[in-house]
Chain A
């Protein structure tokens, strides 16, 4: 009797509840440091900002540039880009978006006070701007700069109505939080949650969810548990140890894609003799640096069973890699042969290089930065020991680790690099170009690899205006870097999201978790 009364009642409640159908609660693993879109170049900030703001050029899920507030762009002369702006775009306050707002935004970005990571690295190539008409703007660079459209994918447009020096606090309290994006921010509680409300005047595709609540849940276990309990419907950065279990759980669905984050080893090249933490097979000091010998570098790379690391340590949440970028991304070298896993060949190469009995080395790594980092270095320690390179493993907390790694205190060490531009010039210029503090090239070349031939190829490629021809030139440079084992690539991480069953997500290579990408399954 009771059931007969309750069943229709329950069904009626579920059907008429607008909240459950139109509201989304999702969890970030990191907390945005501000709601100001120009405050901090930090992934959680950028993911949050992408809901409320737009950029001239956007990235598609595979990190290829696509039109956003700019409908088209072209080089009108070697040092001038022209952007045609989309007409009819409205800000959340009703103002029209015009070229003057672009000028205002570009001027505001470098003036943000106390920025812990300034977005001015994406605007500094612009030396002057010229408004041709309300929907056409020309940006002048210092010489040819082919990457300007890609740099502008991280510059969020704000209205000039905000006036001179808009305050960071006013973005956080919502007064200045005015963009052109599909959602309007209604409340921001640092480290806890952000509430978003759909903006009906949005120029693009109307997103499914009318209200979005973003929770910050940094603890991996707590995030997974919240999803299983139904407190949140969508989580990012699913821990690899939970992937197998969630895959068999009927209540949830997973989505994943190759990321742009490469995990790799540096070999310290800044020493001619006796690099730190490297000794002979009996602990004696060396009169050479074995890491300067290409055969030794090849042997160390061949000794690593990348498939075993991906399968056993990463539990499938990565793809083995012999280069910077994943298949399908601009700059991926399709015909670069995979590094063979071959213990005998590695031993033979070591013997040929004059180390028949191997040598001793300490492999350093962080234990709290990248997915499973401490386990990866232990696994590589096992593998190197098998070819006669007796390896000690030392993993430490990130803050200690990175300051020592940046001072070249280690000889072999693990790092990761997120290639945010989605093309090859970023890793070539930042990682393997000779370290040059003045130009900023090789700025994170912590192994101090240096190859003048490669430097020349990178410079030449950056002077090519045509995208296709530049990609070809960059691929040639990548091939040189990889054949010279400038660094030892291990794998490219996969980004994994989990959601309640019945939802469909379009995963993004750039790690951004966006409510717009999640819809009910058809």
Chain B
């Protein structure tokens, strides 16, 4: 019993120490934690619910950062053309962006990994069918596929998530299959098969845990790319409804005011998006370095 505890803790400690060796990655991780916290508790932190039309007043539209609201508090980041507080808008926008990003990456991860493992373990025509589907999927640019799906399904957060899942699952499948092909020739798999364990148990309890490191790295990268893709779709007017803007739509709303000097409507949501993506990518990079045995020092 004590042996198991020791085996579970020691790798984690080693992992934490490896991760902490890069100070920038630690700062990025703290940044991600803060951003997730802000997004989760947006409704408590934000001074205004930017999605409630009753709380907006068109007469407060396009106020510069630091202007006072009629209720007495300050629009620290200004307002957009509908009189929406930009700070509140960014917090709620982050919530949508992170929700869509993590939600679609996790869903795509489960579906893609399962299909990849099945392909590797089953082989034969099953493998051929799944992997050719993956090839087909990856041969189209992600943004094109997402645009087609949304043009067909219409707008909405759930439709954006669905489009992102359809776009993203193939990468997980390919990664999971590659890792599983290596693992399934290992002795511990042979041992498990000799014990006549059911196939699903060998696959998901024995092979899958050993394939996790590359999948975690892919997942971290995919969260960032999903957030970017959602922002792109919303910027093009195909993502979220106009009364519930995400970061991409906030940027699009301010875009036409850039020439007239009202920079804050686009700039701050853009900055929030930039910081989020950079932090997530730094974390993903460090995870890849730490979890990749070939790069281990």
Residues on A lying within 8 angstroms of B by beta carbon are 220-221, 224, 239, 241-242, 244-245, 305, 308-309, 312-313, 367-368, 374-375, 378-379, 381-383, 385-386, 390-397
- Whether B259 is near chain A, meaning CB under 8 Å from some CB there, is yes
Q: A308-B59, A382-B57 given. 17 additional CB < 8 A pairs?
A: A241-B259, A245-B260, A245-B261, A312-B58, A312-B61, A313-B81, A375-B82, A378-B53, A381-B53, A382-B53, A382-B58, A390-B54, A393-B241, A393-B242, A394-B241, A395-B241, A396-B154
B81 near A242: Cβ-Cβ < 8 Å: no
A385 near B82: Cβ-Cβ < 8 Å: no
CB distance from A144 to the nearest CB of B (A): 48
* Known pairs A367-B242, A378-B82, A378-B243; A242 contacts B260 (CB<8 A): yes
A375 near B81: Cβ-Cβ < 8 Å: yes
Of all chain B residues, the one with the shortest Cβ separation from A391 is B53
Of all chain B residues, the one with the shortest Cβ separation from A368 is B237
> Could you name 27 residue pairs across A and B whose Cβ atoms are closer than 8 Å?
A220-B256, A221-B256, A221-B259, A224-B259, A239-B256, A241-B257, A241-B260, A244-B260, A245-B259, A305-B58, A308-B58, A308-B59, A312-B59, A312-B61, A367-B242, A368-B237, A375-B81, A378-B82, A378-B242, A379-B58, A379-B82, A381-B243, A382-B54, A382-B58, A382-B82, A393-B53, A395-B241
Of all chain A residues, the one with the shortest Cβ separation from B243 is A393
Across-interface contacts of A391 in B (CB, < 8 A) = 53
Across-interface contacts of A224 in B (CB, < 8 A) = 259
Of all chain B residues, the one with the shortest Cβ separation from A393 is B243
Across-interface contacts of B61 in A (CB, < 8 A) = 312-313
Across-interface contacts of A379 in B (CB, < 8 A) = 58, 82
Residues on B lying within 8 angstroms of A by beta carbon are 53-54, 56-59, 61-62, 81-83, 154-155, 237, 241-243, 256-257, 259-261
Across-interface contacts of B237 in A (CB, < 8 A) = 367-368, 397
Across-interface contacts of A245 in B (CB, < 8 A) = 259-261
Across-interface contacts of B56 in A (CB, < 8 A) = 382
Across-interface contacts of A375 in B (CB, < 8 A) = 81-82
Across-interface contacts of A368 in B (CB, < 8 A) = 237
Across-interface contacts of B83 in A (CB, < 8 A) = 382
CB distance from B12 to the nearest CB of A (A): 48
Across-interface contacts of B261 in A (CB, < 8 A) = 245
CB distance from B80 to the nearest CB of A (A): 10
Across-interface contacts of B82 in A (CB, < 8 A) = 375, 378-379, 382
CB distance from B156 to the nearest CB of A (A): 10
CB distance from B163 to the nearest CB of A (A): 17
CB distance from A177 to the nearest CB of B (A): 37
Across-interface contacts of A305 in B (CB, < 8 A) = 58
CB distance from B157 to the nearest CB of A (A): 14
Across-interface contacts of A393 in B (CB, < 8 A) = 53, 241-243
- Give CA–CA (A233, B81) in the complex, Å: 30
CB distance from B127 to the nearest CB of A (A): 41
CB distance from B220 to the nearest CB of A (A): 35
- Cβ-defined partner of A386 (8 Å) among B54, B243, B256: B54
Across-interface contacts of A395 in B (CB, < 8 A) = 241-242
Closest 7 CB pairs of A and B: A385-B54, A245-B260, A379-B58, A241-B256, A381-B53, A382-B53, A385-B53
- Give CA–CA (A309, B155) in the complex, Å: 26
Across-interface contacts of A308 in B (CB, < 8 A) = 58-59
CB distance from B267 to the nearest CB of A (A): 16
Across-interface contacts of B155 in A (CB, < 8 A) = 396
CB distance from A343 to the nearest CB of B (A): 12
- Give CA–CA (A320, B83) in the complex, Å: 20
CB distance from B194 to the nearest CB of A (A): 60
**Residue among A244, A309, A382, A390 facing the most chain B CB atoms (10 A cut-off):** A382
Across-interface contacts of B53 in A (CB, < 8 A) = 378, 381-382, 385, 391, 393
CB distance from B53 to the nearest CB of A (A): 5
- Give CA–CA (A394, B241) in the complex, Å: 7
Across-interface contacts of A394 in B (CB, < 8 A) = 241
- Give CA–CA (A220, B154) in the complex, Å: 26
Across-interface contacts of A374 in B (CB, < 8 A) = 242
Across-interface contacts of A367 in B (CB, < 8 A) = 237, 242
- Give CA–CA (A239, B259) in the complex, Å: 11
- Give CA–CA (A357, B54) in the complex, Å: 15
- Give CA–CA (A426, B54) in the complex, Å: 37
Across-interface contacts of B58 in A (CB, < 8 A) = 305, 308-309, 312-313, 379, 382-383
